Structure 1
Amino acid sequence: MVVIVLTACPTGLRGDVSRWLLEIAPGVFVGHVTARVRDRLWERIVDTLKDGRAIMVFSARNEQHMDFRVFRSDWQPVDCDGLQLIKHPNESDEQESLETFAGKPRRGWSNAAKYRRARRYGKRPGE
């Protein structure tokens, strides 16, 4: 079983892939082909794809019973003790870029922070 997801790809490439696989949604192709066809199809996708992204998931004989390939994606596959995992982009980098764009938010500005301060410094019963 092979699943290929293409984003921002030329229409000619979608036509080439649809010769071998069934397009079940725009840019999502599913089918069952041999390993040789799958590898040549992936080479064709990588050569033809200009600015888009591609992800291919296929059946394999390993513990996960699947393997995948990624082309021009922010999420990268990582081998962790024989298991393929996906490494997401660092969220702290995204948060820092937001802070530099909009300025750093003040500490204690939310209602939750105000309630927390009120509980901490408020009078306690019996005092």
Structure 2
Amino acid sequence: MSNLLVISTTAVPDYVRGSLSRWLTEPAPGLYVGTVSARVRDRLWEAVSDAVEDGAAVCVHPADNEQRYIVKTAGERRRRVADFEGLQLIEFRDETDIPQV
């Protein structure tokens, strides 16, 4: 299985962007793409999700499931991942449910 990793960030601290750019290519601002091992992927995502602060991040990587990928999110945004009978779908929360910064 391929080890492609895609991480998208919004308003994260500069040191997070620096950490990601050591392992991944940044083809557009806040979008990181690369091929890494599962261990590196998990550690990168752990670092990003721990440091997201008021920003947000999304991680997409291959998985052995029906969709063939997994979506992970960190931070508070209107879109969130919902499990629907084993499928990951995106749902929109009400604007009033999102904490204002």
- TM-score normalized by the length of structure 1: 0.68
4+ residue runs of structure 1 moved beyond 2 angstroms? none
Q: Give the letter aligned to residue 14 of structure 2.
A: T
CA deviations on 1:35-68 (whole Å, 9 max, x unpaired) are 1111111110122222110001111111111111
| Structure with the larger helix share | 1
**CA–CA distance in 2 between the matches of 1:19 and 1:33?**
11
The correspondence for 1:83, drawn from 81, 87, 97, is 87
Q: Which has the higher contact order (CA 8 A, sep 6+)?
A: 2
Question: Percent of aligned pairs with the same residue?
Answer: 47
Bigger radius of gyration, 1 or 2? 1
| Structure with the larger strand share | 2
Residue in structure 1 matched with residue 10 of structure 2 by the alignment:
7
- TM-score normalized by the length of structure 2: 0.84
What runs of 5+ residues in structure 1 fail to find an aligned partner?
94-127
Aligned residues between the structures = 93
Residue in structure 2 matched with residue 17 of structure 1 by the alignment:
20
> Is residue 2:78 matched to residue 1:74?
yes
SS in 1 for 2:89: strand
The correspondence for 1:48, drawn from 28, 51, 65, is 51
> Is residue 2:66 matched to residue 1:63?
yes
Q: CA RMSD in A?
A: 1.7
SS in 1 for 2:59: strand
**CA–CA distance in 2 between the matches of 1:14 and 1:5?**
10
Residue in structure 2 matched with residue 125 of structure 1 by the alignment:
none
